């Protein structure tokens, strides 16, 4: 199923590089999403350091409103995601739990929107 919506807010958590939590990630960017089909979502983007396995993403069982998404990415994507959520608006998020495709995007933003202000 394809989940998508607009990001209304975010938070960032940083754990020490030697932290070995349950899935091995050390950085977490949480996106709060207004789902396009109605309801809310929490997309937990978990960034896994190089050399550790990157698990497949999934919808957390039993969650409805908000629907919680546990999504894992390699650490090399962390800086780009943080830069995007800090500096761009509007932000949209997509996740297909069948193909496991994930996107965080500024789709629909006007070119040069705030230049010169």
| Residue 114 pLDDT | 60
Q: Which conformational region is residue 37 in: left (phi greater than 0), alpha (psi within -120 to 50 degrees), or beta? A: alpha
Say how many Å lie between the first and final Cα of the chain, rounded: 41
Cβ-in-10-Å burial (0-12, 13-18, 19+) of 46 comes to: buried
Give residue 112's pLDDT.
66
Domain 2-105 matching CATH 2.40.50: the answer reads yes
pLDDT value at position 47? Answer: 95
pTM of the model: 0.88
Q: Give the DSSP H/E element, type plus range, for residue 7.
A: strand 2-14
Structure token pair of residue 114? 């705030």
Please give the chain's pLDDT, 117 residues, in tens: 999 999 999 999 998 888 877 788 999 999 999 999 999 999 999 999 999 899 999 999 999 999 999 999 999 999 999 999 999 989 999 999 999 999 999 976 677 666 555
């Amino acid at each position: 199923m394809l989940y998508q919506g607009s990001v209304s807010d975010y938070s960032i958590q940083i754990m020490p590089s030697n932290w070995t939590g349950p899935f091995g990630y050390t950085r977490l960017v949480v996106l709060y999403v207004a789902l396009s089909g109605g309801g809310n979502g929490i997309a937990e983007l978990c960034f896994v350091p190089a050399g550790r396995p990157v698990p497949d993403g999934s919808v957390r069982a039993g969650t409805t409103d908000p629907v919680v998404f546990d999504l894992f990415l390699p650490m090399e994507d962390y800086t780009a995601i943080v830069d995007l959520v800090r500096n761009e608006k509007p932000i949209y998020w997509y996740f297909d739990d069948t193909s496991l495709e994930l996107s965080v995007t500024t789709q629909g933003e006007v070119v040069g929107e705030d230049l010169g202000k």
